[in-house]
Structure 1
């Protein structure tokens, strides 16, 4: 990739126009960007030499003349996007247009710490090779982590499922292992951004919440069109809402009072207390469909807890929409229970919807959040 002139706003404007609106002629580009044809020609030549755009055919011009059509080269630069969970890690590449290329998934290295850094760096390189992308085209990485990244120290706090991530500069370790700039973000925040991006194709979404309910419980908040992170990057950690279990129980300081009761471990524990049987969460749902009273009680109680959490969000951030995801939250029968209960604990509850993207939400959100930085690095910034 040949470097283009540094700090050229015109290059950025032309390239961004092509990324946003697709292939177009030189004349149309000049008109939209407010540039002379001579300046536009110089800019296009520099972007072509840098491998960022290419001629994509011709179109009819005035008086029968044909005009060159330019298009971006999406794979000229890529962003590594990572969804790191306590049990599995998924890695993919995102292009300059925000599209996701195929990725890889494997069980998370349970040793944590540097072992997870090494694992993800390997998976990123294997993903690039499988997609035919030279590694030097991977210019940025967005890592979704199950905790609260500390922007000052680079550590990841409140991530008990990834050992030792709170003891060293995780961001710096990733940057060294990957050889590119790195952005750490809470995984549920990424899901919120991914869902917002998907929903915004119809109309802008300015105020929404994404709640993931599975082994753990988390929430990503979009307020006035911006991702709300909070002072310690821990906004939306609704697992620590002070109801469900006793919030003063020492265990609630580790995983949260709400999560203790409404997460999958809490559901299984409560079913065992009612029936004496140790079964999985999917089995609880199946038994509830068949009329099992203990399973019905567990699901009803869990739905009430989630409805209370949504009422708390409605009182504080007033989202117009709540999207539910995760292995529990994305089940239509569970969503139906929560929808029925929400009006009983808040006078004006938000709309509640099923996740559109499912397990791809954090990767889509990472692609979205990483795009500005990726474009900047592609242009030599």
Structure 2
């Protein structure tokens, strides 16, 4: 058993972090059980838990009955010790939420996207944040981490956004750094479909599944990959950009280079074009097309379902997902996914399960909160430690 009396400040800080992480992973848990799991003495554990209580990191949460007449106090993370900002930035709207450390949403706001981008978008998100903290009564200094889902690839080395056609002023702009400077806490940029995949992993149809993909079908086409429970980004942050798969059209046709061959075949614009080409008439929205019970709509659904099935077969050959979760305005249509499943069964012997996201359009914002939560915990428990000053040597306050 380990005694913490006389430990160096950094060692004590690391020990406190270990105890806090054990509480997070195993709550509710008693001090006796914490001592057993960590190998610390009961006296040492009492000191650390007391410090964590005083600092507001943990709180009591009931008692566990032991032997006759005996009970032990249980502890859990205090979810309101710090708060998280999650933002899902789309081409037409911004969805922002503030959540506590458990992921529970405290304040929520949706408004049109400032498509001028750049510092104008930074100013919009900053204003949203101020409004949400004022309305909720949360001290802005208690918000310790943010995550922003954006409709473009994020280069993991430069942290700059690439391939973001819907919002101006974002190419070669340090959006992550500018936003962090304005808000006063770290933020993490992530591709919006990757963020939705994290939402599915945390709270949706990807829970307890090691390998799955989230496929977004709508105006655009994209995919988030969870492999061995880890998000796959690729060397340039473009893993999952399946709009460019050479399926559904001529991959050597340069006219499709900007949009991508697959997207040009199954995206919203392609669905409208297919419907008109099948005698369904012009000027209809995708929703109107799906709601029409006519031969042209049936033909379009079957054509698009067949192309998507071929794309899923190609994806399965490389990634071997257990499940394909569909989302987006087109991907959420049950009649389309039914045809995808029909054609998949004809083109591969053991197709992955296909489901429509149960989170719907909240997958992105819930995923942003999950990414912020993960980044915050990484700042506490990651390998890179911040050397504490004398005043913070016994406190976790300097850890994030």
TM-score norm. by structure 1 comes to 0.90
- Please give the alpha-carbon distance, in whole angstroms, between the structure 2 residues aligned to 1:322 and 1:154: 28
1:335 pairs with 2:340:
no
Q: 3-state SS of the aligned residue for 1:31? A: helix
* Cα 1:175/1:35, change in 2 over 3 Å: same
Stretch deviating more after TM superposition (232-241 or 153-162): 153-162
Which of 177, 180, 192 lines up with 1:175 in the alignment? 180
Which of 355, 367, 370 lines up with 2:369 in the alignment? 367
Per-residue deviation, residues 217-265 of structure 1 (Å, max 9, x unmatched): 1001112222111110100000111133443444422221111221112
| 1:329 CA drift (Å) | 0.6
Which of 122, 131, 137 lines up with 2:127 in the alignment? 122
- Please give the alpha-carbon distance, in whole angstroms, between the structure 1 residues aligned to 2:328 and 2:281: 27
- Please give the alpha-carbon distance, in whole angstroms, between the structure 2 residues aligned to 1:25 and 1:311: 49
- Please give the alpha-carbon distance, in whole angstroms, between the structure 1 residues aligned to 2:296 and 2:282: 10
Unaligned runs of 5+ in 2: 1-8, 381-395
* Cα 1:22/1:169, change in 2 over 3 Å: same
TM-score norm. by structure 2 comes to 0.86
Partner of 2:99: 94
Per-residue deviation, residues 290-323 of structure 1 (Å, max 9, x unmatched): 2x22222222211112111101101111112111
| 1:27 CA drift (Å) | 2.1
- Please give the alpha-carbon distance, in whole angstroms, between the structure 1 residues aligned to 2:71 and 2:349: 62
* Cα 1:20/1:182, change in 2 over 3 Å: same
The question of whether the paired residues in 1 share the 8 Å contact of 2:156 and 2:235 is answered with: no
- Please give the alpha-carbon distance, in whole angstroms, between the structure 1 residues aligned to 2:217 and 2:153: 17
1:196 pairs with 2:198:
no
- Please give the alpha-carbon distance, in whole angstroms, between the structure 1 residues aligned to 2:71 and 2:247: 68
1:154 pairs with 2:154:
no
Partner of 2:109: 104
Q: How does 1:1-381 map to 2 (within 5 A)?
A: 8-58=13-63, 64=69, 67-198=72-203, 204-273=208-277, 274-287=279-292, 290=293, 292-377=294-379, 379=396, 380-381=398-399
| 1:201 CA drift (Å) | 8.6
- Please give the alpha-carbon distance, in whole angstroms, between the structure 2 residues aligned to 1:200 and 1:22: 24
| 1:63 CA drift (Å) | 5.8
- Please give the alpha-carbon distance, in whole angstroms, between the structure 1 residues aligned to 2:269 and 2:18: 51
- Please give the alpha-carbon distance, in whole angstroms, between the structure 2 residues aligned to 1:245 and 1:112: 33
| 1:79 CA drift (Å) | 1.7
The question of whether the paired residues in 1 share the 8 Å contact of 2:153 and 2:163 is answered with: yes
Q: 3-state SS of the aligned residue for 2:165? A: coil
The question of whether the paired residues in 2 share the 8 Å contact of 1:94 and 1:100 is answered with: yes
Aligned Cα root-mean-square deviation (Å): 2.2
Partner of 2:393: none
| 1:102 CA drift (Å) | 3.7
* Cα 1:140/1:113, change in 2 over 3 Å: same
Q: 3-state SS of the aligned residue for 1:319? A: coil
- Please give the alpha-carbon distance, in whole angstroms, between the structure 2 residues aligned to 1:249 and 1:122: 44
The question of whether the paired residues in 1 share the 8 Å contact of 2:91 and 2:167 is answered with: yes
